[in-house]
Amino acid sequence: MTKKIGDKAILQDVTLQVPTGGFVAVLGPNGAGKTTLLKILSLLLPPSAGQVKIAGRPAEAADPSLRRQIGVISHSTLLYSHLSAAENLYFYGRLYDVGNLPLRIESVLEEVGLRYYFHDPVRTFSRGMQQRLAIARAILHEPALLFFDEPYTGLDQHAIEILNGVLRRLRDERRTIFLITHNFEQGLDLADRVVILRRGRVVFNEETASLRGADFKKLYLQKVEG
Amino acid sequence: MFWRKVGVLVWKDLLLEFRSKQMISSMLIFSFLVIVIFAFAFNPVQRTTQEVLPGIIWVAFTFAGVLGLNRAFAVERDNDCLLGLMLAPVDRTAIYVAKVTSNFIFTGLTEIVSFPLFLVFFNYHLQASLGWLVLTIFLGTLGFVAVGTFLAALASNTRMSEILLPLMVFPVMVPVLIAAVEATSTLMSGGQWQAVASWLRLLGVYDIIFLAVAYVLFDYCLEV
């Protein structure tokens, strides 16, 4: 697919195929088109040319059943500051028709370590706590397809461990995951495939099994410097 | 399903406003200021004042309403919450219907509080049939909110949304304002419903047309 804004191509002839349960780390320098790719794949933006297929079905943004299968962590938390943690999750849970919602809210808050902040307004949370709550929001409806856009931003070491725990659980449950990150180590450690974008094009697309940390850093620099 | 989602979205808007009290307080304060300033500027016992009062009332309602409309999408821009709504399995027109409903509730509450204050401060003896007056205010407010919510969503994508919104809303609102002020004026001076029937029909038709147009175009408006 291709995405153009005006005459400028943000993504050019990008072709990716990810099997169900695949974990793809998307790397690339700033401005490479990673977030645009995520927005197109999560059905927020239509491509200018080409098509997105999810589970073999052409993805239509207007199809609510398909959007119910998608969870997104973006740069922003997508949370209402004046509502409490539980109220935010309750609101999103009702939008996604989550069954047994009170129990599910308790469960996800426990998983991200915010069980004791159930009734606290989000505006009183630190950046890291808000990001953890954003993770809880994204996994609340147990989506089959997850997009994480720089999820490590603003997280302390404890929160990074929590996020990695969530990512491992989701990977073990065979959910399909796209992780956009600048952190090679995390990407290589968790993903089974690495994609490098440069100026809107895929310049590298390989399984992680054959890649080693130190070598990969050199390879990455070669790829992004052209 | 559609209306249940609308209900959830309205519940969220009401809860947010109950917590922050940003929108309703600014709308009420603005209305109160208009009442006080005009009450001092004009002599309430003069006939001219009684004649211009319906216009002053609608100035207060619509300008206070614009303050509310500006906030309606500003709360969704904080933390990119609008993105969260667009990602959710919700028909995007449900977002529009919910916003129209919440804005109508907030504007209606402001009107319920400020209208009696107008009558008191301007020493006005209401001769109108209350039912027809309420219907006029209902239709006028619905038209204002239907157009205003759509344009507020459009303006919220710009950096100067608070300046841009009134500039876009009021030209489009001219038919509603003329019809609402004329009908209110006739009813408040003791006119019967037959005298305002044509104005009410105009308000009704305007409401239907603009609700339908905004309903159809709202999806594209969010993509801008």
Q: What's the whole-number mean pLDDT along residues A24-28?
A: 91
Residue A180 has phi, psi (to 5 degrees) of -95, 120
- Residue among A44, A65, A79 minimizing CB distance to B89: A65
At residue A220 the predicted structure's pLDDT band, cuts being 50, 70 and 90, is confident
- Compute chain B's Rg from CA coordinates: 18
- Mean confidence (pLDDT) of chain A: 88
- This model of the complex carries an ipTM of 0.89
Range in A65-69, A185-189, B72-76, B98-102 with the lowest mean pLDDT? A185-189
**B87 in contact with A at a CB cutoff of 8 Å?**
yes
Contact B184, B105 (CB under 8 A): no
The pLDDT of residue A212 is 66
- The one-letter code for the residue type at A168 is R
Say yes or no to pLDDT of A214 above 80. Answer: no
Q: Chain B contact for A72, CB < 8 A?
A: yes
pLDDT value for A213: 60
B19 neighbourhood in chain A, CB within 8 Å: 82-83, 121
pLDDT digits (tens, 9 = 90+) for B161-210: 788 888 888 898 898 999 999 999 888 887 777 788 899 999 999 999 99
Instruction: Assess B112–A contact: CB distance below 8 Å, yes or no.
Output: no
Q: Decide yes or no: CATH 3.30.1490.100 for domain A1-69+144-155+163-226.
A: no
pLDDT score recorded for residue B224: 63
Nearest to B129 by CA among B200, B177, B63: B200
Give me chain B's average pLDDT, please.
89
B79 close to A (CB below 8 A): yes
The pTM of the full predicted model, rounded to 2 decimals, is 0.90
Handedness of CA A213, A218, A221, A226 (dihedral sign): negative
Which residues in B lie closer than 8 A to residue A74 (C-beta atoms)? 80, 83
B80–A74 CB contact, under 8 Å: yes
Concatenated DSSP letters for A5-34? ETTEEEE-S------TT-EEEEE--TTSSH
β-pairing, A8-11 vs A176-180, is unpaired
Interval A48-69 mean pLDDT: 82
CATH 3.40.50.300: which residues of chain A? 1-69+144-155+163-226
A143 pLDDT band, cuts 50/70/90, is very high
**Per-residue pLDDT tens over the stretch B35-60:** 899 888 887 777 777 778 889 999 99
CB of B95 within 8 A of CB of B141? no
In 3D space, the residue among B73, B134, B72 whose CA is nearest the CA of residue B108 turns out to be B134
Tokens 């005006």 label which residue?
A: A6
Average confidence (pLDDT) over A96-100: 93
List phi, psi (to 5°) of B90: -130, 135
Model confidence pLDDT, tens digit, residues A99-127: 999 999 999 999 998 989 989 999 999 88
Nearest to B80 among A78, A83, A96 (CB): A78
What integer is the mean pLDDT of B94-111? 95
d(CA B181, CA B178): 5
CA distance B152 to chain A (A): 19
Of the candidates A115, A91, A126, A109, the one whose C-alpha atom is nearest the C-alpha of residue B16 is: A91
Whether the pLDDT of residue B211 is over 80: the answer is yes
B14 touches chain A (CB under 8 A): no
